[in-house]
Chains A and B, each alone.
Chain A
Amino acid sequence: MKYAVETFDLTKNYGDFTAVDKLKMKIRNKSIFGFLGPNGAGKTTTVKVLTCLALPTSGTATVAGYDILENPNEVRQKIGMIPQMVSLYGDLTVKENIHMCADFYGVPEDLIESRADELMEMMDIKYAENKYVSQLSGGMKQKASVVASLIHQPDILFMDEPTIGLDPTTKRILWNLVEELHSEGRTIILCSHDMYEVELLCDDVGIINNGVLAAFNTPQALKDAMINEQKNVKNSKRSNIAKIVEEIQKEATPEEYAAYDKIKDHAEEENRDTRQLSVIISNLNDELFNQLKNLSITYNITKQSSGRITLDILDSDESVTEVISTIIMNNGIITSISTKDPSLEDVFVKVTAKKKEGGEI
């Protein structure tokens, strides 16, 4: 099976509102897929439909090789879900909830105890197995929910914002679990607003906006595409302005020609390819600062009291080398250096910028 999930014009309407609009998407088997989207974009609705918790209005999908409309029970047997909108029974203990879920999934009786113990140990919840779920904290409830969702060893695990509201330690436990499940060959579909989490864990990322898949690729490819797009936009702007100015200059007087040249230079300067470099120099002094400021590849430079300087430099590998060489030649001591490339968050903001009016899904 090449794809764990494949959707075919999947659509879900709530009255007049289209939450998911003819969605076409393929999620590779055994991958960790990050499913992103702004609030109300159709992310949770898509997950509900894929997990057979809601029927699509039209279109269909296959999950684990089974059609969600024709074989919903086979789909349910193959998937697990750590959901936002689902809870365990508050008046049952953690253990009772897990055993109940195991029976609902048809886990053989002799395997339930050992699997439950193993998962509870892994999620660090074993010590609370006899507590009522209603007595647990949010994080503990989430851990118990994870155990209940994995008790039948699903091939595909849907996680809908699983780390929201969790402390950093619990987050790491969940991330480790995701990686472990991935290494066992399971497919993970992770809905999240935490871009760090998605970049850290996911092989592929899909961004849904207004019910439509707006972007789909690996996180790095999405970022690269954004860098290239930014460059292309700037190149195009530069080229267009140059063409217009040259056209005007054909009939200009020498004084006007020089003035138009200045306009062209300014436009080129405004649209040049730059990147941001951040350097911490422990022994930064005015002389070194001025040296860096006067470099031909430096366009903007700011200094902070901590010794950190931020430079906008010409976007080329040589530019970074030139900055480092200058610092070293002036006996500067570099304690930290980083370049600022577009992040997945930048990609997300750009892709989802165009938001039509609509209600919460």
Chain B
Amino acid sequence: MVETKKLKWIFKKDIMVLWRHKPRLISYLLFPIIMITLFGYGFGGTVTDIPVVIVSQSSGPVTDATINAIKSESLYDVTSIINDPNQGRQMVLNGQDKAAIVLPPNYDDTQSSTPKNVILDIDSSDEIVSSALIPTTQALFSQLSNQIGVQQLQASGLTPSSVSSSTINVLSGNQSTILSNPTTSGINFENIVNSINFQVNKLYGNISYIDFLVPGVLALVILFSCMFGMGESIAGERERGELARLFMTPTSIATVVGGKILSKLVQETGRAILLIAVAIGLFGIVIAGSMLLTLLLLVLVALCFVGLGMMISARVSTQADYQQIIQPITLPMMFLSGVFFPVETMPWIFQKLAYLIPLTYANDALRAVMLKGAGLGAIWLDIVVLLGFTVLFFGLGIRGFNRDI
């Protein structure tokens, strides 16, 4: 039987405790607001505004119409229009853009029967972008192809009803596949109706969704493990009086913190190796780059998040406070960092925030090494930023470490 008076007291007590722990209360109220804002504005719909570069090697009404058609699609954010295909490809390889749409030199030549080879150089390491960009672009050019073909047929006195399908060549790596090849009444309509050959050039080959997810998940696992672990390791030990036992001895904060970091690093590195092994064993993922560099990156990521956890737990006295405070930090970090949704497609304010988050750089570097096979030279900036965050977190953490019991 429920005793109402006692039940009322238990309820009242919990509310009073929450009200009296202001940092916990603020975090408690802030967390749902942050999350709903993120999902409402950032991840509530389809992917849009993918940065693309258009390589236009021709000029004329068809080119203009095509560029306008691309620009009018909300999926694309045309960052620049250039005329050198190699430069466009390089921009994608550098990560400036997610894809380069390369229009051929004969794109505006509607009289010639030579097929127009449109190439989509795409950053296939980003599965979300690839899966949104390829079918949409393919459909767009298929439509354009039909329109150009219809114009040509009308110019020849034929009707569009005789057109049955379009030809799409999809280049994946070194493979090329002819999807259809119609001919009608002895007239080769192929060169008329199917005037555009659309080729997809996946710059990093075929990358499955699990391949795409593993680097981000690795970084996430390390983030959560380090953050929650440091709460127990410092705030928990402080709460139980175990930390005081160490601080009673002639021992510096740096030694105590150093020991905790070392232990956490070993644990996290071990766990990361295990996760990679399981991913390789069960899902057959392939690490395109150096395994050593991947491991070193994971150690750096762990170090960075241990620092973040230490910085927060150094100032709080109970585990409950710590757990509540890190919630509005870790979960938004997870969604803003590009692990699940591309940073480039987020609203500008979230993009700015994403670049203030170490997980973004961790994710970027790990994907570059594991999926693109990048070396140190390609990820040095990510490493420098992560090191910067690490130094900042440790500096603030040790400086603000509350040795008082």
Residue numbers of A with Cβ under 8 A of B are 48, 51-55, 72-74, 76-77, 81, 83, 85-90, 101, 104-106, 148
Is the CB–CB distance between B405 and A85 below 8 Å?
yes
Which chain B residues border A83 with CB–CB below 8 Å? Answer: 241, 244, 248
Task: Determine the residue in chain B with the shortest Cβ distance to A77.
Answer: B250
Is the CB–CB distance between A54 and B405 below 8 Å?
yes
Which chain A residues border B403 with CB–CB below 8 Å? Answer: 53, 55
Of the candidates A85, A90, A104, the one whose C-beta lies within 8 Å of that of B246 is A104
B39 interface hit (Cβ, 8 Å): no
Q: Give the CA-CA distance A89 to B403 in the complex, in Å.
A: 18
B6 interface hit (Cβ, 8 Å): no
Is the CB–CB distance between A105 and B250 below 8 Å?
yes
B209 interface hit (Cβ, 8 Å): no
Of the candidates B246, B248, B251, B404, the one whose C-beta lies within 8 Å of that of A81 is B248
- A136 to chain B minimum Cβ distance, whole angstroms, is 15
Answer whether A87 and B242 are a contact pair too, CB < 8 Å, given A53-B405, A55-B404.
yes
B399 interface hit (Cβ, 8 Å): no
Answer whether A53 and B242 are a contact pair too, CB < 8 Å, given A48-B405, A85-B405, A86-B405.
no
Give 10 pairs: A residue, B residue, CB < 8 Å, sorted on A.
A48-B404, A74-B250, A83-B241, A83-B244, A86-B242, A87-B245, A101-B245, A101-B249, A104-B250, A106-B250
Q: Give the CA-CA distance A106 to B255 in the complex, in Å.
A: 14
Which chain A residues border B240 with CB–CB below 8 Å? Answer: 87, 90
Which chain B residues border A76 with CB–CB below 8 Å? Answer: 248-251
Which chain B residues border A90 with CB–CB below 8 Å? Answer: 240, 242
Residue numbers of B with Cβ under 8 A of A are 240-242, 244-251, 403-405
Which chain A residues border B247 with CB–CB below 8 Å? Answer: 52-53
Is the CB–CB distance between B404 and A54 below 8 Å?
yes
Answer whether A105 and B249 are a contact pair too, CB < 8 Å, given A53-B404, A85-B405, A86-B405.
yes
Q: Give the CA-CA distance A51 to B404 in the complex, in Å.
A: 11
Is the CB–CB distance between B246 and A88 below 8 Å?
no
The secondary structure that dominates the B interface is: loop
- A51 to chain B minimum Cβ distance, whole angstroms, is 6
- B240 to chain A minimum Cβ distance, whole angstroms, is 6
Which chain B residues border A88 with CB–CB below 8 Å? Answer: 242, 245
Which chain A residues border B246 with CB–CB below 8 Å? Answer: 104
Of the candidates B241, B249, B250, B251, the one whose C-beta lies within 8 Å of that of A87 is B241
Which chain A residues border B405 with CB–CB below 8 Å? Answer: 48, 53-54, 85-86
- A28 to chain B minimum Cβ distance, whole angstroms, is 23
- A18 to chain B minimum Cβ distance, whole angstroms, is 16
Q: Give the CA-CA distance A279 to B395 in the complex, in Å.
A: 72
- B263 to chain A minimum Cβ distance, whole angstroms, is 13
Q: Give the CA-CA distance A87 to B242 in the complex, in Å.
A: 5
Is the CB–CB distance between A104 and B251 below 8 Å?
yes
Answer whether A86 and B244 are a contact pair too, CB < 8 Å, given A48-B405, A53-B404, A54-B404.
yes
Q: Give the CA-CA distance A90 to B241 in the complex, in Å.
A: 11
- A102 to chain B minimum Cβ distance, whole angstroms, is 10
Is the CB–CB distance between A53 and B248 below 8 Å?
yes
Q: Give the CA-CA distance A86 to B240 in the complex, in Å.
A: 7
Which chain A residues border B244 with CB–CB below 8 Å? Answer: 53, 83, 85-86
- B373 to chain A minimum Cβ distance, whole angstroms, is 44
Which of A51, A88, A90, A104 counts the most chain B CB atoms within 10 A?
A104
Which chain B residues border A101 with CB–CB below 8 Å? Answer: 245, 249
Which chain B residues border A89 with CB–CB below 8 Å? Answer: 242, 245
Q: Give the CA-CA distance A52 to B404 in the complex, in Å.
A: 8
- B234 to chain A minimum Cβ distance, whole angstroms, is 14
Task: Determine the residue in chain B with the shortest Cβ distance to A79.
Answer: B248
Which chain B residues border A86 with CB–CB below 8 Å? Answer: 241-242, 244-245, 248, 405
- A112 to chain B minimum Cβ distance, whole angstroms, is 14
Which chain B residues border A53 with CB–CB below 8 Å? Answer: 244, 247-248, 403-405
Is the CB–CB distance between B248 and A51 below 8 Å?
yes
Q: Give the CA-CA distance A311 to B248 in the complex, in Å.
A: 53
Q: Give the CA-CA distance A6 to B345 in the complex, in Å.
A: 66
Which chain B residues border A105 with CB–CB below 8 Å? Answer: 249-250
Is the CB–CB distance between B250 and A85 below 8 Å?
no
- B245 to chain A minimum Cβ distance, whole angstroms, is 5
- B244 to chain A minimum Cβ distance, whole angstroms, is 4
Q: Give the CA-CA distance A89 to B241 in the complex, in Å.
A: 9
Q: Give the CA-CA distance A72 to B253 in the complex, in Å.
A: 13
Q: Give the CA-CA distance A161 to B102 in the complex, in Å.
A: 81
Q: Give the CA-CA distance A75 to B358 in the complex, in Å.
A: 41
Which 3 A-B residue pairs are closest in the complex by CB-CB distance?
A73-B250, A104-B249, A86-B244
Task: Determine the residue in chain B with the shortest Cβ distance to A149.
Answer: B248
Answer whether A85 and B242 are a contact pair too, CB < 8 Å, given A55-B404, A76-B248.
no
Q: Give the CA-CA distance A89 to B242 in the complex, in Å.
A: 6
Q: Give the CA-CA distance A89 to B250 in the complex, in Å.
A: 18
Q: Give the CA-CA distance A48 to B241 in the complex, in Å.
A: 13
- A67 to chain B minimum Cβ distance, whole angstroms, is 15
Task: Determine the residue in chain B with the shortest Cβ distance to A73.
Answer: B250
Which chain A residues border B404 with CB–CB below 8 Å? Answer: 48, 53-55
Which of A73, A87, A88, A101 counts the most chain B CB atoms within 10 A?
A87
